Amino acid sequence: LAGLHFGVLYHYSSQAGGSNTPSCCLRCDILHAFSLSMCMQKNIYEWVRDHCLHHKYVCTDADPHNASQGFFFSHIGWLLVQEHPDCTEKKQKLSLSDLTTDKVVMFQKRHFVVSMLVLWFLLPMLVPWYFWGESLVVGCFVPGLLRHVAVLNATWLVNSVAHMWGNRPYDKNINPRENKFVSFSAIGEGFRNYHHTFPYDYAASEFGSRLNLTTAFINLMCALGLAKDPKTVSKETIVARMRRTGDGNNESNSCK
């Protein structure tokens, strides 16, 4: 559940960017906030703000985790240093009115510290202790800290590896790549070349739910009536873009 925030937060990210994305009901939005609080990363507002900035200024100084600065910086280094002045300046100019008027987003922003302590630290530690007699030490270090390290690195792989290594079948002129290892590790978020070429596609991949648990999750939410109107890209549009700007290295059936 903690890892599902990778994909579902693109709902908010694309909304802030003015794109067509699945509309989610209140219960589904609360689940998004719940899952992100379990990860002890930034709150929804800050996460979406940084993601929009990344898309708008990818691999430049205004990109929070600029992959052109190397693997270490884009993986974790950007969190250890003061952000570039360009990044700070561009961040202040982003229009995030969709987020500031979203009650779930702003509630989680106001109460992020409390929700994070309960959902990230106390819940993973106390559940195994209460239900099957695990020690609090094991509960703290295995479902707590070990899970946290695994989820963090899966997230960071998207920023680093998936922007440095892999093929670029949709646009060879941008850094983001298609990387199966990252797709497996980050439950579907390794199709970066597609996602940056077609950011308004809810699936973030040409291949639907293949190696993409977050797309499968959104499909399930749509089937249950908790989300609606998912937007995607036509095969004709994909083919035209691949032939125009792709590197010719792809697994797509669209061009065959």
- What's the CA gap between 15 and 82, in Å, rounded? 28
Predicted pLDDT of residue 5: 59
pLDDT reported for residue 32: 82
Whether 48 contacts 98, CB under 8 Å: no
What number of CA atoms fall less than 13 Å from residue 129's CA on the CB side?
16
Residue 251: per-residue pLDDT: 65
Say how far apart CA 14 and CA 29 lie, in whole Å.
14
Which contiguous run of DSSP H or E holds residue 23?
strand 23-24
CA quadruple 114, 112, 32, 27: dihedral sign = positive
pLDDT at 255: 52
As a whole number of angstroms, the distance between CA 196 and CA 214 comes to 17
pLDDT of residue 35: 85
pLDDT in tens, the chain (256 residues): 666 655 566 544 554 444 445 666 777 788 888 888 888 888 989 998 999 999 999 999 999 999 999 999 999 999 999 999 999 999 999 988 888 998 999 999 999 999 999 999 999 999 999 999 999 999 999 999 999 999 999 999 999 999 999 999 999 999 999 999 999 998 888 999 999 999 989 888 998 878 888 888 888 888 988 888 888 999 999 999 999 999 998 766 555 5
Q: What was the pLDDT predicted at 12? A: 47
Which residue reads 């009650």 in tokens?
A: 103
